[in-house]
A and B are shown apart, each in its own frame.
Chain A
């Protein structure tokens, strides 16, 4: 068992002083921004990020440097930081915005400088009451300090940064729905094409949308170089990642680990990390990358924590949220809860997600509460197929955005992995775990 705690983004999270400007400065804060705007060209920073192979930490895992390089030329471009982290069991950005808000601000400013943004918007989940307070305080301090505004640190670079609280819809974490919301419209994901906000984004202008954790890596990359960053990790997955571990483990929490150095088993069982399960309990299933990811079984715990490594076994590392379910967990109930979440959070715009989601949720509820029918399993699989043709991974979809395919992920894998448990519910007319 190898442990590789290498802290990039979470190095200050246990230091309450670092929340304020003085504490942040005392721990090397704003050195990177200074270097960036005074010594480095935007191209140089973009090169560093490209070298770093910094995969987006929001869930899709698109390489940040490549995303930046796709930004269409335009007089006005925007940078939007996506902090609408709202998925059950995903809480890594939550920690970063509350415990190291200046790092987020600094990272955003570096990104804004690198891509030539006219303005930066940070879109934070509305329920992050403390996070909103702290990020706003950090922004205010940064203005005072000269890190935001006119001629930052005496350079030619000027930019404003606006904090925008979300209004409580999960779907606004989908980047195009976020842009719609930011524009004051309903949070409906935009239909593709155009495929990327980098072509047409906020207010019709080319826009880069980056995740909180993604940009929180930038101060380190500027100070240490993209090459240094890519020394960590393997393959496409470089640097470190925050893994939000939850569920039936002794020590749930956020763990920053070097990419592709540890397995799920390490994370779950290492006494310094998950600390294992309650005595006598066995792992029944693991959700590896947020609740929209297909589940892994106990036989897949030795998969390495890397983007391509998890994809190779038919799931995704996604947002890095790992939920452990032990053998006391009802799989029907777990899948139902997830389906219920997505059905409620569907924007309602397109038919398969709106109608399919709530239909699947209703059937799942029926099975869990004792009114299931055997034909319901085929029905569920077919309803899943009508959202994700072939019910395969990575999913094809009949929907506009990927919220729709998130519904079948759990339901279909639960049925495939635990069909007997479903049948037991149906046969016994209720949940055997109650």
Chain B
């Protein structure tokens, strides 16, 4: 972000305009209201100047000449003419050339109606083509991946998709082949375009050459309705447009948010909407007696719930809630109040044993994505970001390549950022804290491991205020304590450093902020730190710190839990120990599932309450950087399903209590008073034009510079708005240049209250380290790793994504493989001594530490969890006979 006020003055079509130094003519002119036609230019891609549509006359030492406006930076005193006869002749000529071989199959083309080529043809070029020759022919669309089809006849060779794949995603899986009129975009032989980011190429294609399976022939653009929203596929908080036709979701498009996603989305986020349309959706409350399940009305379901709940309330610790990471902030606040104030239980956990100690997030200086990409050093203590927070990976990769961000990575196995890391340290599980200690300690001894030596020098040389720690979960197997202590050690050693949350579940960061984890109240407060306003509103809060998800499940298996709520949670597939989860759910008297879709755990529920899905309800969500942005409603909620906050209100009413909320505005009215973190906010304020990118909490300044670049350029992001409707993008009203969150006031005492809880001695909060069990010969320490396409509920119910989940594989380092004599590609069986997982493909990766086996976590089937669970686990792998 360049806050420099320096400007360059130039003359465009006779009018003096101001531009930023280094800005391209096309962008500067656009801001001044002069739309220069373009195809290959995209504000988020490096310019290539190949389509030549943006040719304008620029005065040089030898007079005016035609220059591509997308490729020539502005200069002081420059004279540009975009509409002279010569410029127009060139533009018209290029357009006619582009159309020469372009099939006029607009009536059957999905892009028709939102097509930059079609739109600009109305403005430029001759009405009729003079091209009477045979057009170029290719077989009509060919699948280049399971998600993307390519129609080479429609392609205008603008190089957008290929640049995106190579420059932005770092996977040049599509490229040009051939030359001259025979040039075409295609994949390499036998290498499909299987990228996590392939949908972006479809979105930025300026013609209908690239289409995505889920949208093909589904709708015409003019029949679409749309609303802006935030993607909840993970916790990055990408800004999106949700489009529907006849109350069915048909497409998501990425919005250009400077702060967050730069218009990009991952394919899971983009195409996961299919799960909302799934025919398996739960639409009616269901009551189960023994094995017999029957549909019920909400009244019946509530009556059925009231009885055991009233009984359990006498012993609040016998009530527990697991889940909530997929809820909106408003739901979480209401459920938090229901649990902690009405029920009196603190056994509430939005994390499923797969996250981090929430105090790492509530007691630290939190970083934004902008802080992370603008940092001097980013220390990664997380899983593979590309697998877990895909669009954040794009941002970090770009920063490492283009703006000098030094990434220091501690990992159990090479990640997607390893090639861009300044130092990548491969550590074994259990050694993370010790490794971080060696990085920050003041000893004069040179570390023997060269990557540690490099990392140590980088960290020592950096301004601590410009160090950001990206804290996620490096290993889903075993305890997270070693890793949590590592994070705390690093932050304690570098006062001023900031933490960027790497917790990946959609709104898990919002859940922590709403106190939907043990030991917390809304606003990042501990149980004892509730504000006076909160105590007034809540009357009571628990005094005992409650149980975490693994503890709840263990207690439940012991018969200590009478009522267990599962809110958008499936502990059998998702919690660390599926067998414990099964025992626990079988034992609990009343399991209440609040769900949108059935899963392995809903089979154990005696009451199932159908929840409205994302896009079926309003609300807000909080991303990794504490940015609160809106969830838009586009659909009528399915069947009798309701938003979760409403369900909480109903449950309270069923047991004779009143939570005091009739609308989400009521929720915010209370929340913005009781929570210092949310003070001053309201739903209206979140929905105003100046806050389209969301609001960072706590609101530190009333007037903040919003570098919003949510471009409405219809050529850059076709489908969101068409040229015809928008004309040139306006220089105001799109957020850029606005410098305040309208209607939101910072409150110094609230900010101070949030900041006052930041701990300088984070490590003291954590437990002492576990004993590490010795490793026997032939034993391997497991690392359970997340993949983006993990076979989870959302993926399984999205028909075009479900096939993309790869079979779980096991990965070992080269020397481990050599010592065992196994070759890559062999089929192996994984064993923990008591149970086995057969038929796994063995992968050999030099980036894996010796004595470690990396296993891909699978989702709904939960097979890998059944072999990998518990502390100090050691595994063996054996070769299967062919």
Contacts and interface: CB of A to CB of B under 8 A. Distances in A.
B179 A348 contact: yes
B389 interface: no
Nearest to B133: A362
Nearest to A386: B93
A170 B71 CA distance: 26
B89 A386 contact: yes
A348 B133 contact: no
Contact of A358 (B94, B178, B181): B181
A186 B52 contact: no
B133 A352 contact: no
B66 interface: yes
Nearest to A403: B180
A134 B96 CA distance: 48
Contacts of B100: 355, 359
Interface string A335-349: 000000001111111
B71 A359 contact: no
Contacts of A386: 89-90, 93-94, 96-97
Contacts of B93: 352, 356, 385-386, 398
B312 interface: no
B130 interface: yes
Given A191-B49, A359-B133, A386-B94, A348 B89 contact: no
Interface in A230-282: none
Interface in A153-171: 169, 171
B226 interface: no
Nearest to A171: B179
Contact of A348 (B71, B94, B176): B176
B90 A354 contact: no
Interface centre among A348, A351, A389 (most CB of B within 10 A): A351
A369 interface: no
Interface in B56-99: 65-66, 68, 71-72, 86, 89-90, 93-94, 96-98
B69 to A, nearest CB: 13
A386 B130 CA distance: 13
Contacts of B182: 348
Given A350-B51, A389-B90, A398-B52, A358 B130 contact: no
Of the four ranges (under 10, 10 to 19, 20 to 34, 35 or more), the interface on chain B belongs to 35 or more
B621 to A, nearest CB: 42
Contacts of B50: 191, 349-351, 400
B781 interface: no
Contacts of B98: 351, 355
Nearest to A345: B180
B89 A354 contact: no
B180 A348 contact: yes
Nearest to A359: B100
A417 interface: no
A186 B174 CA distance: 13
Contacts of B293: none
A379 interface: yes
B181 A357 contact: yes
B480 interface: no
A343 B68 contact: no
B66 A347 contact: no
Contact of A191 (B66, B71, B101): B71
Interface string B152-184: 000011010000000000000001101111110
A352 B54 CA distance: 12
Contacts of A348: 157, 176, 178-183
Interface centre among B48, B49, B181 (most CB of A within 10 A): B181
B66 A354 contact: no
B55 interface: yes
Contact of B53 (A344, A351, A355, A389): A351
B55 A400 contact: no
Nearest to B57: A389
A410 B141 CA distance: 38
A363 interface: yes
A71 to B, nearest CB: 22
A344 B180 CA distance: 5
B136 to A, nearest CB: 8
Nearest to A349: B50
A352 B180 contact: no
Contacts of B55: 398
B131 interface: yes
A355 B98 CA distance: 7
Nearest to A170: B179
B183 A354 contact: yes
Contacts of A224: none
B86 A351 contact: no
B66 A359 contact: no
Interface centre among B93, B96, B156, B176 (most CB of A within 10 A): B93
Contacts of A399: 52
Contact of B94 (A186, A343, A352, A366): A352
A329 interface: no
A22 interface: no
A354 B65 contact: no
Contacts of A193: 72
A172 B96 CA distance: 28
A396 interface: yes
B280 to A, nearest CB: 47
Contacts of B71: 191
A164 B157 CA distance: 29
B153 to A, nearest CB: 13
A5 to B, nearest CB: 39
A-B pairs, top 9 by smallest CB distance, nearest first, are: A386-B93, A348-B183, A358-B181, A355-B97, A346-B180, A362-B133, A191-B49, A348-B179, A350-B50
Interface of B: 48-53, 55, 65-66, 68, 71-72, 86, 89-90, 93-94, 96-98, 100-101, 130-131, 133, 156-157, 159, 175-176, 178-183
Given A351-B156, A398-B90, 4 more contacts: A348-B181, A349-B50, A357-B180, A362-B133
17 contacts: A186-B176, A191-B48, A343-B181, A345-B179, A346-B181, A348-B157, A348-B181, A349-B50, A349-B157, A350-B49, A351-B53, A351-B156, A352-B93, A352-B97, A385-B89, A389-B89, A398-B93
Interface of A: 169, 171, 186, 191, 193, 343-352, 354-359, 362-363, 366, 379, 385-386, 389, 396-400
